Every structure is written in C-alpha cells, then in structure tokens.
C-alpha cells in the first residue's frame, strides 16, 4: 500500500490539513505545534497493534476551535 495524500480533519490541533506524500517526507517543527498529533492520527488509522483503549477517542481529540487550551 502506498499513500499519495494524507488528509486530516478536526483532529486535536488540526482543523484541516492535506499533506502530499511524494518521495521522502520529513516531519519537523517547533515544540507544541502538532508533530505528535499528526503521528497519532496516522497511527490511529493504520496501526492494527494499537490497543482498543487508545482507540477510544475523547472530546479533547477533536478540534473545537478554541486556541490555547
């Protein structure tokens, strides 16, 4: 399986994000801008070893439009 685009909507600090996945992709950023949240979203969908407890989404896992919680 090869993904060509990653699209995330309303997950944690992302309202909408579309990332083209052509060639090599490097993920970097300042602290607290969402690198871990991006990886969480990918893992939540693609990782079959993720425990059921981690798949139980909480209200805080959804973007609510509030900045600086």
- Of residues 3 and 21, the one with the higher pLDDT is 21
pLDDT value at residue 24: 87
pLDDT value at residue 60: 84
Q: What is the pLDDT of residues 17-57, one digit of tens each?
A: 999 998 888 989 999 888 999 998 889 888 999 999 888 88
Residues in a beta bridge with 14: 11
Q: State which H helix or E strand residue 43 sits in.
A: helix 35-46
């Amino acid at each position: 399986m090869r993904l060509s685009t990653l699209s995330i909507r309303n997950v944690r600090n992302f309202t909408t994000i579309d990332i083209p996945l052509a060639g090599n992709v490097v993920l970097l950023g300042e602290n607290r801008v969402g690198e871990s949240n991006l990886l969480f979203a990918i893992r939540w969908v693609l990782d079959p070893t993720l425990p059921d407890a981690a798949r139980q989404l909480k209200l805080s896992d959804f973007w609510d439009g509030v900045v600086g919680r």
